[in-house]
Chains A and B, each alone.
Chain A
Amino acid sequence: MRRSNRPTGPALERAYEQMARMRAVEEAQIRLWDEGLVPGELHTAVGEEGIVAGVLANLTPDDALALDHRPTPALIGRRVDPEALLLEIMGHADGMNRGRGGHMHLFAPEQRAAGDGMVGSSGPLACGLALAGRRERPGSVAVAFFGEAATNEGHMMEAFNLASAWRLPVLFVCKDNSWSITTRSSEVTGGKLMDRARAFGLTAAKADGQRVDEVQATAGRLIARMRAGKGPAFLHATCYRPDGHFTTDVLVRLISDPRREAGEIAPPLIAALRAPGGNRSERVAALTTLTRRIGALAVHHARGRRDPLARARRGIGGPAAARIDLRVESEIGEAERSARQRMTGTPAVPELGAAPVLDTTPARDRTMSNGGAR
């Protein structure tokens, strides 16, 4: 990796501001969900901002984005109105999709971006976007964002082949947090993803998703090749998501408050151990399987305290970060207050604190400490 490619100074400040805006919107969503204003599931992208902002910094309005079930940071990065987005995830008629889509199914045709809840759909969709872009907007590219678990979907591997065979300008961005919902990806994935991508003929590169400058430089190199007609590429970027798969992730709950959660999880397990079934060694093996998984997440949790925002903040310095945080608070905080008010019809308590920094406590516990839900 050539160090000279990496953004510094004003460019890094811009990346930091994008990430701070994305983080602020994710945290607003979590608050609204905790308050019971957002129904159903909420898959947050806290921890993915370094990857998303790093890639987006290389794009033009002609480029298209196929997003997954964590679509909001990319939409915020593409300047979708944050208030319309927040209204949408609460199901308000003035939401960006009239309250009919919700957080997984967000569509912003003007920004050439759409999110989708079906695992792995972004890969083949990006192939189509690239095919259209090649004819309609020469020099443009399409980007697919997805998690590493999605690479085990057949249609994702079909997309790798399609893009390669047709030399489509697609950047496949794999945001690897190493968990497939609550299963360790390493236990259900054969081989290495970089090898898999290269076997399909994709140009492949790696980046540390906690370093927005590294993602931006690496993605920039891949995208420049694609714009020059040199075919599709695969970017494997690692990240850490403190909230797990969704805001109700059982494993994350268990490691963040073992006493309370174990009280719920243990009794049925103990009863099951006493019930008829397999022999002793099979039961011991089963318990080992469960405890290893919980242990693996605990280790991952402890190691993962590096935050793309905190890292970039060190790069730009405290005073610059504070100035940006203030701007972000003003923009996103106002959007959240207004959206909440329009949804509930009551003025919101101005509760937004200082700059968003990756809080490694899961969403649910943050709420607890605020005296919130559950």
Chain B
Amino acid sequence: MTTMTYADAVDAGLAAAMERDDRVITFGEDVRLLRRTTLVRFGPDRVLDTPISEAGFVYMGLGAAMGGLRPVVEVMLVDFLTAAWCPLINNVAKYEAFSGGIQRAPLVIRASIGGGYGDGGQHEQTLWGSMAAIPGLKVVVPSTPADAAGLMVAAVEDGGPVVYLEHKLLGEVWLDVLAGSRRLGMSFDIPPDGASGEVPESIAATPIGQAALRRDGGDVALISAGVGVHRALEAAERLAGSGVQAAVLDLRSIAPLDTAAILELAARTGHVVVVDEDYVRGGLTGEIAALIAEQRIDARFARVAVEETIPFARHLESAVLPNTDRIVAAAEHCLDLQGRSA
């Protein structure tokens, strides 16, 4: 095991994949500078800068995958990936199904996500629910350095299209580049266990579609992904102070969902709170509620998600993003214990 940052772990996962398979290349906006350690290890033929042409280079990634490469296409922020919604949703996601399974698209689309550093609603979305809704796309969201490395290896080895989303609040490179995090008077609520942690020397694939139980408890299940997992762990700690035992499930993959793990926890605790940094409507929270209802599991349900355009002002942003106070309040509401935990 080596201790490394989340950002270094993403790079380590990509490097492991590139070392094992020389068909793996990476391209995207500014990658030669942003991924400079990858550049000096593997050379400029395998690490390429693109113009700011997201639709074009996502299509190009699909073509390269069909042509025999294993591209990791980086779109700086997921918000910019919407400029490539057409290739992502109409092409990348569809070809395997259209071809009766004979046309594979071994492609990773990589983008940074999430808020909490004051960049406003055009640069802080997660959008994972919208992408997870599309048949043919896998969507993974690592919340720890170990999973950041393991899921990158898994995404490259998967053989089909995988959207790999890394949270900016966990990647110090992003915060330094985007927000000047080392300024005096500027602080961000960075989960320490997400930003840095142990990664195995030899990086193995983290299975896609397998959730991880980060904390066990029998009273209520807090289900989340990305930074939300760490907020849920903080909330669980506070709930424990008032005698409530909360389990925390890290989904790790939004598509496919680990349905078995979700249903087991829902049945066992009878109380489910989904913590989702994506929009509340038409997304992950509603999907999990539906899964539980479809199985006729008798569980109380609450959700903490983004309910409006993320505002720029820090205090407003903080209120709109899922925070620990909101999670504790939602759990207490679920358990009819309003106001118990300080």
A residues near B (Cβ < 8 Å) are 33-42, 91-93, 99-102, 104-105, 116-120, 149-150, 152-155, 180-183, 187-189, 246-248, 250-251, 265, 268-269, 271-273, 275-279, 281-283, 285-287, 289-290, 293, 372-374
Contact = CB atoms under 8 A, between A and B. Distances in A.
B49 A102 contact: no
B67 interface: no
A182 B176 CA distance: 15
Contacts of A180: 29-30, 51-52
Contacts of A40: 117-120, 123, 178-179, 312
Contacts of B199: none
27 contacts: A34-B183, A39-B118, A39-B186, A40-B117, A40-B179, A40-B312, A91-B313, A93-B313, A100-B316, A102-B118, A153-B53, A153-B83, A154-B53, A154-B83, A180-B52, A183-B29, A183-B32, A189-B51, A250-B177, A265-B36, A268-B37, A271-B37, A273-B40, A273-B41, A275-B41, A278-B41, A282-B44
Of the listed residues A116, A117, A277, A373, the one surrounded by the most CB atoms of chain B closer than 10 A to its CB is A277
Contacts of A282: 42-46
A149 B44 contact: no
Given A41-B119, A152-B52, A277-B19, A182 B185 contact: no
Interface in B13-28: 15, 18-19
A373 to B, nearest CB: 4
Given A149-B52, A152-B52, A153-B53, A181 B120 contact: no
Of the listed residues B37, B46, B80, B184, the one surrounded by the most CB atoms of chain A closer than 10 A to its CB is B37
B338 interface: no
Interface of B: 8, 15, 18-19, 29-30, 32-33, 36-47, 49-56, 79-80, 83, 117-123, 176-180, 182-186, 309, 311-316
Contacts, number: 188
B43 A286 contact: yes
A184 B293 CA distance: 54
A171 B302 CA distance: 51
Contacts of A275: 15, 41
Nearest to A287: B40
A285 B43 CA distance: 6
A36 B313 contact: no
Given A91-B312, A250-B177, A183 B30 contact: yes
Of the listed residues A35, A36, A92, A289, the one surrounded by the most CB atoms of chain B closer than 10 A to its CB is A289
B32 A293 contact: yes
A150 B33 contact: no
A283 B40 contact: yes
B143 to A, nearest CB: 22
Contacts of A117: 120, 122-123
A182 B19 CA distance: 27
Nearest to A190: B51
Contact of A188 (B40, B47, B49): B49
Nearest to B121: A105
Given A40-B312, A153-B53, A374-B183, 18 more contacts: A35-B183, A39-B118, A39-B312, A41-B179, A91-B118, A99-B316, A100-B309, A101-B312, A181-B30, A189-B51, A248-B177, A272-B40, A277-B43, A282-B42, A289-B39, A290-B36, A373-B185, A374-B182
